[in-house]
Structure 1
């Protein structure tokens, strides 16, 4: 170690991809006092107290998951432990989608956001009850469960934590209640001057809910006019009715018009994702802006805490049984397997989500002076099988996996038990 070392840490020789800074090449990244101090070629190793050789690895701005469910213990089996989804999976920033409400936000702040090693933000639920298990308790999610004034007041008073509004669609919401809840969520977003994130995953939902005369293929054309520039359409590739691909198997004609007037698209991967429909949408030129993983307890095998017996271990019907392991990095591999390039996918987890939540000056880049949030990935060569919830398989030529990440200069290794194991083709 040099006694004249001017940097605390040097990441040496990796391929740095920083879309916000216009960098894509072999560079060294120097860190001092938890901040980015330099990004350039051939920084002297003797200038740093510690040097990590990242030759052959990808060095990205700390990755941002735009669709997390981390209101652990409160949002039922949806809620994951934040750092398991975050820094232990190579992801430095999480945006919880609709877990907290104006009523429960203080608890989310105190028990989730503040203790987490990962950065944690929230899109505030439009509903007073927040992101409870709405498919069990649908009557909580009617228009009567929305208080526009209270939610606007809470969002404005908590700007540091609340970066948007979540317009939920608990299973069958559109068929049960029509468009009113989405109108109310759009009003909250306009008054709070925040983006609205609209869940199209299962707006239509359960047959027993009835249709009330609603036509599933009119959802998009009726919802989109309510939205403003910067609002987000989520789950475009859902396998459920009401998404971007209509009953005739064609991409809905209003989507391109929506993109043209400034609406954004988030993958919201999770259980809604269909390789079959994603291929159709991407072939039609629909490329998402952001890539939320949408990891939750219903689509991910969540291990019982150490020393705690799993009471459902022998229950074939319990919600975690047989689920896959998953991560945001795996979702990146999904998109690449569909024909997008690495250069197209990296902005979806770095600069674009930072812009989505109005924080491009703080996260999503490796510019000098910013917190040293860094995600380092490896590209594992070979042919691998990826599978969606329809059991459709695609072959990925190579697989991205997290090597480690830095959160404000502190290193975290990828020890999350939910990280998937590669399955060779």
Structure 2
């Protein structure tokens, strides 16, 4: 049996496909062809030795914003994906009914996969806040029709439930989001933040399978109180509401997560909420966010599952997404697992130490290696510290120095078009 690509000798973690072992991974036609030990190398077009490395399904980031040029929050995914292992970027509500076509057009130009959650507000995230302050934007019939016409792209509904976004409308945007989701058979992802409404007020509206993002928020009212985890939160968890980390600029606090872990409320999924304001810190990327879960004691296998098969199942993504099952898309990530002492920080400057971190070495989408890309400059509205701005300049300078220096020296080149050897007759003819 022939293969297009064969990764050999890696340590595979694939909770969805049932593999946690040292194994080879074979790819043919952009899909996983086989996983096992001792797969034949002779007929593989390309063999890559990944011995000592971790091989996992391409990471699925359940909460991102990847609509650059059309939203306040959007970032371009490809220049980040190739060095982070994230092959599926779920755009969490950047687009509403008015702007979904533009998101589709943008996504078709990306190398990575971009399933979307439709914002209940038809204007989406064109500005920093306030999309649901005018309830005319939260048009139930329009949202239902938009999802029905875009089922290949839209896998859920997103609503931001904090005072900045809903104003005086309280729970009404969430009620409408749930009505839409119920009608088309998809989950709702609910962002929580500054009250009102409080979290305990909105949780009774959520159904099993709906997603509470920013689940360990340090600014949302009704998550963790003086007595620990609020009863309403535990009831929602036990009823089947999915808890998603959703780090972002202000959506994650270590002390809140630790209180939830002590109460047995382990996040089902880990996502970055990566956007223009947190790309430069405190989030940076999904592997860094995963290290923060390692820092509070979650096992590596569970953290990998929370960034692969679990988000795929949460949205019912098709075709074996998030797994290395035979026939699944060959989205693969290869990591070095580094041991040491790595300081990580949450949204509120609380620090912890991770004893392991994942450093990406290769990222494949449909069996194709993602090429390097350079991230764009920060958008002018992104708030950066002086240190962050200096770091961005240093990075640009380092890249410039790397690319302006000759790649190799003269001794490391070869003559690609050798000159023909000249004979004495050639010399005589040149003088006649």
Question: TM over 0.5, yes or no?
Answer: yes
- 1:190 is matched with which residue? 182
Corresponding residue for residue 412 of structure 2? none
Residue of structure 1 equivalent to 2:107: 113
Q: CA deviation at 1:359?
A: 1.9
Give the TM-score normalised by structure 1. Answer: 0.84
Please report the TM-score for the alignment, with normalisation by the length of structure 2. 0.83
- Correspondence for 1:292 among 263, 267, 271: 271
Match for 1:126 among 120, 125, 128?
A: 120
Bigger Rg over Cα? 2
Distance in 2 separating the partners of 1:171 and 1:274:
20
Runs of 4+ in 1 over 4 A off after TM superposition: 413-418
- 1:84 paired with 2:79, answer yes
Say what the alpha-carbon RMSD is for the aligned residues. Answer: 2.1
Counterpart of 1:199 (choices 164, 167, 191) is 191
Q: Distance in 2 between matches of 1:409 and 1:352?
A: 22
Given the alignment of the two structures, is residue 166 of structure 1 paired with residue 158 of structure 2, yes or no?
yes
Deviations 1:62-95 (A, max 9, x none): 110100101111112x110121343443111010
Q: CA deviation at 1:172?
A: 3.1
What displacement does 1:360 show? 5.0
Q: How many residues align?
A: 377
Aligned residue number for residue 96 of structure 2: 101
CA contact (8 A) 1:68 1:294 kept: yes
Alignment of 1:265 onto 2:243? yes
**For 2:67, what is the secondary structure of its paired residue?**
coil
Q: Give, in whole Å, the separation in 2 of the partners of 1:416 and 1:139.
A: 31
Alignment partners' CA distance in 1, 2:342 and 2:373:
21
Corresponding residue number in structure 2 for 1:211: none
Match of 1:392 among 335, 347, 350: 350
In structure 2, the partner of 1:142 is: 134
CA distance in 2, matches of 1:243, 1:86: 35
State whether residues 123 and 162 of structure 1, in contact with CA within 8 Å, keep that contact through their aligned partners in structure 2: yes
- Offset at residue 296 of structure 1 (A): 1.0
- Asked if residue 368 in structure 1 is aligned to residue 347 in structure 2, the reply is no
The residue that corresponds to 1:345 in the other structure is 303
Q: 1:286 to 1:50 in 2, by over 3 A?
A: same
CA distance in 2 between partners of 1:143 and 1:185 (Å): 12
Tell me which residue corresponds to 1:48: 44
Q: Which runs of 5+ in 2 are unaligned?
A: 377-387, 392-432
The superposition leaves residues 306-349 of structure 1 with CA deviations (integer Å, 9 ceiling, x where unpaired) of xxxxxxxxxxxxxxxxx456111111111111110011111111
Alignment-derived partner of residue 307 in structure 1: none
Which residue matches 1:255?
A: 233
Match of 2:286 in 1: 328
Q: CA deviation at 1:162?
A: 0.3
Give the Å deviation of 1:236: 1.0
Does the 8 A contact of 1:89 with 1:415 survive in 2? no
Shift of 1:243: 5.1
Q: Give the CA deviation at 1:275.
A: 1.2
Q: Which residue of 1 aligns with 2:206?
A: 227
Match of 2:87, SS state, is: strand
- Cα distance in 1 for partners of 2:51, 2:163 equals 47
Q: 1:382 maps to which residue? A: 340
1:227-280, Cα deviation, whole Å (9 max, x unpaired): 22211011011110325213x262111222212222111110122211121111
8 Å Cα contact 2:59-2:308 kept in structure 1 = yes
Q: Mark the CA change 1:49 to 1:94 in structure 2 (over 3 Å): closer, same or farther.
A: same
Matched residues in 1 for 2:283 and 2:219: separation?
22
Matched, 1:11 2:7: yes
Distance 2:371 2:338 in 1: 17
Distance 1:269 1:35 in 2: 31
